[in-house]
Amino acid sequence: MILSKNEPKRVFHHFEAISQIPRGSGNEKAVSDFIAAFAKELGLKYVQDASNNLVIYKPGTSGYEDSPPVILQGHLDMVCEKNEGTIHDFLKDPIKLYVNGDYLKARGTTLGADNGIAVAYCMTLLEADDISHPPLEVVLTTDEEAGMTGATNLDAELLNGRQMVNLDSGKVGLFTAGSAAAITAEYNLPIEWETPKGAVEACAITVKGLHGGHSGMDIAKERGNANRILGVLLDALCRAGDIRVANISGGMKVNAIPREAKALITITPTDKENLQAAFEKCAATLAMFFRVADPGLTVTLEPTAPIKKVMSRDCGQKLIASLLLLPCGVQTMSKDMDNLVAASCNIGVVETLADTVKITCMARGAYSEHNSHTEDKISALARITGAQTEFVDRSPAWPFNPDSKILKKFASYYEKHSGEAPKIEAVHAGLECGIFADKLPGLDIVAVGPNLYDLHTPEERLSISSTETIWTFLCGVLGEMK
């Protein structure tokens, strides 16, 4: 076991165990079955539903039997991203863990501590016989990263608790007490195919080397979006000569800022010199613009194999306009909290299908009204370009409650034992807390977690020392909830 020397030992033991089981969004049955068997072996009552969600019940310890139950909640799935050149099959290969100083990382892929560390915390609490706590209802959901369908489909009647600790946010000294609403927009632009006319040359435009990141938590960092950057490059070429787009692709997950994108185009040889000059000028401008947020950005224009069909000029121009005009990045900042994004949109995935280019975006808003405004923008653009739009996977916001009792309990305990007042924040990310708050009227929620960095990217890393700090803190607070 790679993590056998790290504290807390049982937490890292369980994290390493589930890291051997592929558990990308939509592929959680194996890990759900594994934890169900774990609960059964412990003799605990559990429910595994049709969505592979798990609810596991553990009675309160001696003296806590009649205390109000506490819901502990996290999700089973992880975002599956890997570096170019990394050989890894997320459907069958285990995550390759390694320790670098205080950080736990994965080799060339996402780590899955978002939210596997919550699962590990819960498993350790379920098996422990030396930790005082009230009755626990452990809720482990599926598909959180791709649409939160697990939480949406969960039967609320399975839960008796009205105080919940979400283990999917925060860091040492910081508690989360609110999250954004989210919606996915599927924008389908019809393709008019043509056969290339005259003597043309085929080229490939690539965008790579971007940092990427979580489309909510990292959106305010103004990192480059590969799909938007590709649109900027195509627009520069389109204005410099006759080009036709044959194929376009970019991004892997709608909730991850895309790090790479690519387009295949044809050019007219007589325009070659002008196109090269326009490309180099645009590339230099992009490098200057992203020199701080994304210094690793690289863009290339290179010859490629001949192309048999291309999009019509009108279709290509509508595609480029869509990439330039779809809402992308921060839309507005919060008026209630300093440095909090109130509304954003991420152009997450672009793919060329048989008869459409499908562009999938994720909009986030502190309130549903923010997302409605973004929907209106996307719909207005679609009316001009002739695209068909569908808005799916809506998730409600978790509104900030300054009078939250469980938040005050956690904050008071932290200040008492650390000597410092914690930070309280709302996040521009779609936590499942909003769905649970919507399902269970009166539910009081706080979210905590260890220090995690660069979520949804292969640079994801977990602070080992903070994992122990949060574990000690969580056990201590549960011991006071008598």
Active site residues: 77, 144
Q: Which of 469, 419, 421, 420 is nearest to 448 (CA)?
A: 469
The radius of gyration of the chain from alpha carbons, rounded to an integer in Å, stands at: 24
For residues 480 and 482, give the distance between their C-alpha atoms in angstroms, rounded to a whole number.
6
Q: At what angle do helices 226-240 and 313-325 cross, to 10 degrees?
A: 140
For residues 74 and 266, give the distance between their C-alpha atoms in angstroms, rounded to a whole number.
48
Residue 82 backbone dihedrals phi, psi, to 5 degrees: -140, 160
Long-range contacts of 335-343 (CB under 8 A, 24+ apart): 336/366, 336/400, 337/400, 337/425, 337/426, 339/220, 340/366, 340/425, 340/426, 340/427, 340/428, 341/216, 341/219, 341/220, 341/428, 342/366, 342/370, 342/428, 343/370, 343/371, 343/373, 343/374
Helices (H), 263-367: 272-289, 313-325
The residue type at 221: K
For residues 295 and 298, give the distance between their C-alpha atoms in angstroms, rounded to a whole number.
9
